[in-house]
Structure 1
Amino acid sequence: MKAALSRPETRWAYVFVLPWVVGLLLFQLGPMIASLVLSFTDYDLISPPRFTGLDNYATMAQDPKVIRAIGNTLFYTVLHVPLSIGLALGLALILNRITGRAAGVFRTIFYLPSMTPHVAVGVLFLFLLNGQVGMVNQFLALFGVQGPQWTSDPDWMLAGIVLMSLWNLGSTTIILFAALRNVPRELSEAAMIDGASTWQRFRSITLPMIGGALFFVVIVNTIASLQMFDQVYTMYFGNTQAQNSSGDAALFYVIYLFQQAFQYLHMGYASALAWVLFLVIAIITVIQVKVGNRLVYYEAEERSR
């Protein structure tokens, strides 16, 4: 062990890793520990923190806005995750059928929306979803459908936000496309010779073989959905007039956390909100991992048996 540590390459490895370790301690673990301590205090950035025990957590249980924010966030997550993965899988299947030079062009086209800044997406869809002049309602009018007031009707705001979120499917599409490229073609060809239909091949061969990638994007999209913030804040909370018109219909959990921290300077309460979100995400992720380990097919594990 001492001989290994004395090697020049080993010492240089530690030198290169050191900045990351320092950054982790100073900018991640340090602030997390500080926020955990602050969650048990009353702190407004001006006066010294005052220890209040579990008062912040007790207040959360009785705060109607927390209940509303949790409901909106969960509603959005339940709709967004399956819809986004389903559409991304459809796009990935289309990409998998395109060959030649056009393949690279379409991959770029499908991924480009992911490069758009989230604030710009929020502003863009604020116009697209406008009830009077928005392009979405104009498109629906071509089929004789009168579109709703996506941005002002509380009953349709969350649906509009879900629709907006489907713009950003590039990363999920590319991940699933890469998984589809790794599905052995001979398996599908053998099933075709045996008379299996397209749906049977997709259900029995393709889906199990890309199960690991699907499992990954479910976890990642769930975590991202529970932390939804920037697009919605840009649309409904970026100015006082929009905030008054939306009320709590578009209030997401992280937006309420942001308001408590930086608008009302309730840093202790905001820290408690953040830690509850962290625990909820951790619990949901653990459940997903437990379920996924039972349902997902891993080719490497199968070969090792």
Structure 2
Amino acid sequence: MPYLFLAPWFAGLLFITAGPIAASAYLSFTDYSLIGSPEWIGLDNFQRMFDDPRFYQSLKVTFIYVAVSVPLQLAFALFLAMVLDRGLRGLALYRSVYYLPSLIGGSVAIAILWRQIFGSDGLLNQVLRFVGFENPPGWVSNPDYALGTLIVLNVWTFGAPMVIFLAGLRQIPTMYYEAASLDGAGKARQFFQVTLPLLSPIIFFNLVLQTINAFQTFTQAFIVSGGTGGPADSTLFYTLYLYQRGFGNFDMGYASALAWFLLLIVGGLTAINFFAAKYWVFYGD
């Protein structure tokens, strides 16, 4: 009887998760155009990566995006969580409002809105012209700034880590702050000596989760760049390049190899994070 109730889950695991994963693994070793039959070519797809300049560009863009946006997002989320932890009136309302960007930040509508805000004649440039800037750049059309606009968008979706930080802050016993205060520690020292060590497991959890999410970013880059990764491949995220190869060039074998290489990157970085955690994550035991 229990297996009857578990049958829908097992069916989903087999046909929606395990099946496509196995198919992708097989296709990564083939030449497959979505039209004909897959032709086995061994490791050729993986060898092609290292002769592909756009592959290196997509890696560069993605790593810059992750390395900059994730720490900024977590820092901003922690700051707001500490502000809300002071017992403001209407805390539930503020928490809901601040969480909203995490719900809608990855949507097509927000990406379109972002492109309008940072366009040549967008809201940001209108404000800059109003305060005296004569020729502000077209942020999303300038290779020097286009990636920065997407980083700002990711930082703006701080709601999920903020709620988790807020829950962690509520679990820190006040007696630690009282003891630190009696020892003469100010607010800054209490933050670095009490709050951060006791919150380090939550920081670690958010770091791993947001890093994985950042590597999977696709919608924002696709909409803002019009699916090209431009200007000048400055927003060519790895997932966007994978999409271009698979569904733009009908090179699904190569796209599958790119997907598995991304899995190795994310898995490797996650393993490094877990290894390094023992040097800075404090569990109290």
TM-score using structure 2 length: 0.94
CA drift at 1:45: 1.5
How is 1:109-128 mapped onto 2 (pairs within 5 angstroms)? 109-116=97-104, 118-128=107-117
How is 1:49-198 mapped onto 2 (pairs within 5 angstroms)? 49-100=38-89, 102-116=90-104, 118-131=107-120, 133-140=121-128, 147-198=136-187
Between the aligned partners of 2:45 and 2:31, the Cα distance in structure 1 is 8
| Cα deviations by residue, 1:59-112 (Å, 9 ceiling, x for unpaired) | 111011101111000011111011000000011011101344x11111111111
Unpaired stretches in structure 1, ≥5 consecutive residues: 1-10
> Which secondary structure does the structure 2 equivalent of 1:82 belong to?
helix
CA drift at 1:115: 2.1
1:135 partner amino acid: L
2:238 partner amino acid: Y
**Distance verdict in 2 for CA 1:245–1:65, change over 3 Å:** closer
Superposed CA RMSD: 1.7
Match of 1:234 among 219, 223, 236: 223
> Which secondary structure does the structure 2 equivalent of 1:62 belong to?
coil
**Distance verdict in 2 for CA 1:288–1:35, change over 3 Å:** same
1:37 partnered with 2:26: yes
Unpaired stretches in structure 2, ≥5 consecutive residues: none
CA drift at 1:143: 6.1
1:290 partnered with 2:278: no
Q: Is the 8 A contact 2:118 2:125 kept in 1?
A: yes
TM-score using structure 1 length: 0.88
1:20 partnered with 2:5: no
Q: Is the 8 A contact 2:61 2:235 kept in 1?
A: yes
Between the aligned partners of 1:193 and 1:144, the Cα distance in structure 2 is 51
2:19 partner amino acid: G
**Distance verdict in 2 for CA 1:244–1:45, change over 3 Å:** closer
2:211 is matched with: 222
Between the aligned partners of 2:137 and 2:56, the Cα distance in structure 1 is 26
Say which one has the larger Rg.
1
Between the aligned partners of 2:233 and 2:139, the Cα distance in structure 1 is 15
CA drift at 1:142: 6.4
Between the aligned partners of 1:244 and 1:65, the Cα distance in structure 2 is 10
